[in-house]
Each structure stands twice: as structure tokens, then as C-alpha cells.
A and B are shown apart, each in its own frame.
Chain A
Amino acid sequence: MARADASLVSTIDIEGMIRRLDDAERAVLTRHQRAVLKFVRGTWDGWEYAGRPKGAKTGISQAAWAASVQSTERPFRLELVNQARGFEALGGGRYRVLKPGGAGDGYAAYVHRAGSSKLEQDVLAEAIATDYIPKLKADLIAEIQRSLGQTKRKKLRRGAAGPRRAGRTLA
């Protein structure tokens, strides 16, 4: 992640939970993850695009939101990231949207509404914490209570770091 990429991390700590989530419990986490993602993308639009050239596309950072979960140990986690990289001029009034997470600078962390100095990711983080996480935690606890004691813990090993392996492009 570049320094100016946006990141919204929510942790859900459930006291006494010493195993990873089972499939049904994890499904609760991912169901809420998708609701949060939908809320964030649906909120992240309507920008004024001051100074953006007429031929350049809009919605670059809206399209760049992605999310993961962490269901293997407490505290469990939802993480939304935005690694938008903007666009480059190709000449002749043409522009190309840069690949999220690729070369170039991030900017999503600095986005704010016209007339407001509050960063939009901070606005969203507060809304998620208030409107989504309490319900997620309650639903998760309810599911854990249903399935308590049915999962074994396993230890996973990690390998060495390096670039991703790319598949052939599908169409």
C-alpha cells in the first residue's frame, strides 16, 4: 500500500474465542463485509472533479475499493482498501486510467467533499463503526454460540515474499 491509499479496518474481538471461524461463522463475516463494501462504494461518488480534464474518466477511486476479511484468529477483521492511482495523459485529449495498486501515487486517503476538510475515509470509518460493526458482532456471536466447539485449530506456514503470479487474461 502506498501512503495515500485509503484503508478502513474494523476489528471484531470476541472474548474467549480461541479458534478460527468455521464456515457458517465466516459466512456471517463475509455477508457483512459485502454490505459494508456496497455502502462504501455507493457513498463514494458524486465528486466535483475540480480540475480534471473533460476527457478523463470519473469513478476511478470508486472502482478501486476492495475488501478482505481475517477469520483465523481474534480479533477478527474486515479491511477495505483503495489503491486508486489516477490517470495519465496520452496526448490528443486522451487519457488512460492507471491500474489500482500499480505504479504511481495513491490519493484516496486524501479525498474529501467540497466545503469540508474532513477526509471521506474518516467519515466512512465512523459510519461503519456506528452502523455496521455492532450488528456484525451481534450476528457473529449468535452464530458462534450455535456452532461452538466444532472447529479444530490448525497452524499454517508462510513462504517467501515476491511478485504475484499472473494468470492469462480471461474474457
Chain B
Amino acid sequence: MAGVEQTIILPSVEAYIVEAHGSARGLSSAEINVLAEWADTIAAEIADAWPVDTSTSRDMWMAHIEQDPIAIFVYNDVDYVEWVHYAGGSADDPLWEALIPEVWDRNRALVIAAMRDAIDATEAEIRQARAEGYDERSVLSGRYRRVRAAV
């Protein structure tokens, strides 16, 4: 074994997109930025709770966003990370298996609320863009914002 990984899927975010948009769509550039910042927060909170004696593995908590399904993907590629435990614990009770759900539980409601706000903002932007003759993709890609910023 080398490293651990955890997928945190967000079905309620997908459902809210369908509710707000009327059908499924991909995440917009702005929504990706919001979700990615939360992914960074989750990775940082895991690292902050990680034993300082294993700084090499603590440094390697990473996260990115996935789109099919919408998810936060947290991972650590250090080869001994799955055996790390707090002092007094044992390798049969690996820290990562308990810690990641704990960090996610603490942040779940905040992440979902932030994403609902971001989705509402994207939908408003799509309506505005359409009224100006732009298509939905120009908003999702972030191109619409760039065009508007340039004028």
C-alpha cells in the first residue's frame, strides 16, 4: 500500500443545481473556486490534526475537485500514511479513517450552504448573460466575466 484517498461526494449540490437550473449542468468556474477553497480547508484541517512527528506525511495532504459526480477528493501519497495513529493508539485503528469523516462532518453544512449561494449567483449570471446574447457556457467557463471585465 502507498497512501490513502477519500472521495466526498455532494449529491445535495447536484440536486440543488437541477432545482435552480432546471436540469443538470457542470460546475461554473466560480463554483469550482468556492468548492476548491473548501477542499483546501478540509485538507488543511486534516493536516493540522495530523501528528507533528510525521511531518513528511502531514505536508502531503492534498485535495482537488471532481465533477462526475461532484466531489471533493482528498488524498495523501506518502507510503506509510495509512499506519499513522496518535500516541497510545495502534496501527489497527488508523487515524485517517476516523479523522477525515470527522473533519467532513464539521464542515459539511458550511460547504453545502456556500455552494448553494455560489449556484444562485451563477444562475443569476446566466440569466444576465443570456439577456446580453451570451450563452450558458460562456458563464460556466468564466469567459463571460473576462469579457465583461475587459469592457
- Residue positions of A touching B, CB distance < 8 A: 20, 23, 26, 30, 34, 37-38, 41-42, 45-49, 54, 57-60, 62-72, 81, 96-97, 99-100, 154, 156-167, 169-171
- Residue positions of B touching A, CB distance < 8 A: 1-11, 26-29, 32-33, 35-37, 40, 44, 47, 52-56, 59-68, 73, 75, 77-80, 82-83, 96-97, 100-101, 104, 137, 140-143, 145-146
Distance, CA A60 to CA B67, complexed state (A): 8
CB distance from A144 to the nearest CB of B (A): 15
Distance, CA A47 to CA B7, complexed state (A): 27
CB-CB nearest 8 A-B residue pairs:
A45-B142, A57-B26, A63-B65, A164-B3, A45-B29, A46-B146, A66-B64, A167-B6
When distances are taken between beta carbons in the complex, the residues of chain B under 8 Å from A96 are 68
Subset of 12 A-B contacts with CB under 8 Å:
A34-B40, A59-B67, A63-B32, A63-B65, A66-B64, A97-B68, A161-B2, A164-B2, A164-B4, A164-B5, A169-B6, A170-B7
Whether B47 contacts A165 by the Cβ 8 Å rule is no
Please count the residue pairs between chain A and chain B whose beta carbons lie under 8 angstroms apart in the complex: 159
Distance, CA A59 to CA B96, complexed state (A): 29
Whether A72 contacts B56 by the Cβ 8 Å rule is yes
Whether B1 contacts A164 by the Cβ 8 Å rule is yes
CB distance from B59 to the nearest CB of A (A): 5
When distances are taken between beta carbons in the complex, the residues of chain B under 8 Å from A165 are 1, 3-5, 82
A164 and B75 contact, Cβ closer than 8 Å, known pairs A41-B36, A47-B143, A49-B141: yes
When distances are taken between beta carbons in the complex, the residues of chain A under 8 Å from B141 are 45-47, 49, 58-59
Distance, CA A171 to CA B105, complexed state (A): 10
CB distance from A44 to the nearest CB of B (A): 9
Query: B5: which of A58, A59, A167, A171 is its contact (CB, 8 Å)?
Result: A167
When distances are taken between beta carbons in the complex, the residues of chain A under 8 Å from B7 are 166-167, 169-170
Whether B33 contacts A38 by the Cβ 8 Å rule is yes
Query: A170: which of B9, B28, B56 is its contact (CB, 8 Å)?
Result: B9
Distance, CA A165 to CA B2, complexed state (A): 7
When distances are taken between beta carbons in the complex, the residues of chain B under 8 Å from A99 are 66, 73
A166 and B5 contact, Cβ closer than 8 Å, known pairs A30-B47, A71-B55: yes
A62 and B32 contact, Cβ closer than 8 Å, known pairs A71-B55, A96-B68, A162-B1: yes
Distance, CA A97 to CA B47, complexed state (A): 28
Whether B101 contacts A170 by the Cβ 8 Å rule is yes
Whether B140 contacts A162 by the Cβ 8 Å rule is no
Distance, CA A149 to CA B88, complexed state (A): 28
CB distance from B34 to the nearest CB of A (A): 10
Whether A62 contacts B29 by the Cβ 8 Å rule is yes
CB distance from A157 to the nearest CB of B (A): 8
A68 and B2 contact, Cβ closer than 8 Å, known pairs A63-B67, A169-B7: no
